[in-house]
Amino acid sequence: MATSPRDPVLEQRARASRLADLGQRIGYGLFGLALVVFFIGLIGDFTGGISTAIIVCVVIGSIVLAPAIVVSYAVKAAVRDDLEHGREVG
C-alpha cells in the first residue's frame, strides 16, 4: 500500500495557519493605524475625516481580526490534539 507523501489535512491546516497569521497582522496593523491617526487628530485638528478614518480602521480591523484569532486557536487546538493522540503533526 503506497502512502501519500503529503497529508491533505496537514496541508490545509498549514494554509489556515498562514491565513490566520496574515489576518492577525492586517487586523492588528489596522488597529495600530487607528491609534496613530487618533493621536494625529488629537495633536492636530480632529476633523470628520480623521474620525471616519479611525472608524474605518477599527471596523475593518475587527472584521479581519476576529476570524483570524478563532482560526489560529483552532489550528493550535488541532496540533495539540494530534500530539496528545500520537498522530503526525507535520
Residue 14, all three cell numbers: 498549514
- Report the pLDDT value the prediction gives residue 76, as an integer from 0 to 100: 95
pLDDT tens digits along 1-28: 445 568 898 999 999 999 999 999 999 9
For 14-70, write each residue's pLDDT tens digit: 999 999 999 999 999 999 999 999 999 999 999 999 999 999 999 999 999 999 999
Query: What pLDDT is stored for residue 2 in this prediction?
Result: 47
Residue (of 54, 76, 53, 66) closest to 27 by Cα position: 66
CA-nearest of 3, 2, 6 to 90 is 6
